[in-house]
């Protein structure tokens, strides 16, 4: 069996680019997204990572592929509001998708990544290193993701699971216009 890459947020932007590149490198691609795909991948799971059960998602992947070699946590959303005008439900949703879904999906994938001595790639942002006006909620969610990535790397070192925190700047993917 080919090595398996699981990519969240696979339908657009960086997720789509990751899928194309990993497929070129010979990986079997499992994509997770809410929206319809216009790319060729091997197995697609239509899921809302905020609402759907992460354990069931992991079980579906293992049932189909038998292994997980790379997990790319790419799904995310932006929030461009002042703290004063920000709605509580918007901030909660932001953290559910950008942070909590990453933590709990990764947790469900760890037993399978341990078997393959796999890699977790968390897609973060330079916004998780600085604080910007009118982006405080987004920055805070990425700070949290960075802290998770760095601490998880230390925890999984002895299990030979690599944890990479990919900190990206502004990329023309349409993300800002969708957030």
Locate 79 and state its tokens: 């929030």
Q: Which residues contact 121 (CB under 8 A, 6 or more apart)?
A: 70, 71, 72, 73, 164, 166
Q: What's the rounded Cα separation, in Å, for the pair 106 and 21?
A: 22
For 98, phi and psi rounded to 5 degrees?
-75, -25
Provide, for the chain, the percentages of residues in helix, strand and coil under a 3-state DSSP scheme, each rounded to the nearest 5: 45, 20, 35
Q: Is 124 a catalytic residue?
A: yes
Annotated catalytic residue within 12, 16, 54, 142: 142
Annotated catalytic residue within 12, 16, 28, 124: 124
Is residue 113 within 8 A of residue 68, CB to CB? The reply is yes
Q: Is 125 a catalytic residue?
A: no
Annotated catalytic residue within 12, 16, 28, 138: 138
Is residue 119 within 8 A of residue 113, CB to CB? The reply is yes
Q: What are the residue numbers of the active site?
A: 11, 124, 138, 142
């Amino acid at each position: 069996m080919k090595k398996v890459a699981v990519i969240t947020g696979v339908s657009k932007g960086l997720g789509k680019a990751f899928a194309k590149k990993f497929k070129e490198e010979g990986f079997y691609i499992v994509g997770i997204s809410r929206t319809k795909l216009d790319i060729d991948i091997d197995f697609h799971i239509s899921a809302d990572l905020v609402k759907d059960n992460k354990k069931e998602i992991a079980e579906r992947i293992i049932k189909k592929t038998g292994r997980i070699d790379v997990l790319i946590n790419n799904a995310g959303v932006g929030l461009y509001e002042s703290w004063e005008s920000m709605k509580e439900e918007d901030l909660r949703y932001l953290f559910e998708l950008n942070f909590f879904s990453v933590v709990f999906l990764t947790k469900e994938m760890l037993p399978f990544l341990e078997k393959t001595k796999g890699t977790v790639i968390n897609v973060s942002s330079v916004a998780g290193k600085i604080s910007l006006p009118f982006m405080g909620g987004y920055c805070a969610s990425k700070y949290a993701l960075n802290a998770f990535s760095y601490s998880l790397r230390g925890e999984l070192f002895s299990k030979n699971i690599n944890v990479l925190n990919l900190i990206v700047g502004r990329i023309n993917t349409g993300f800002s216009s969708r957030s």
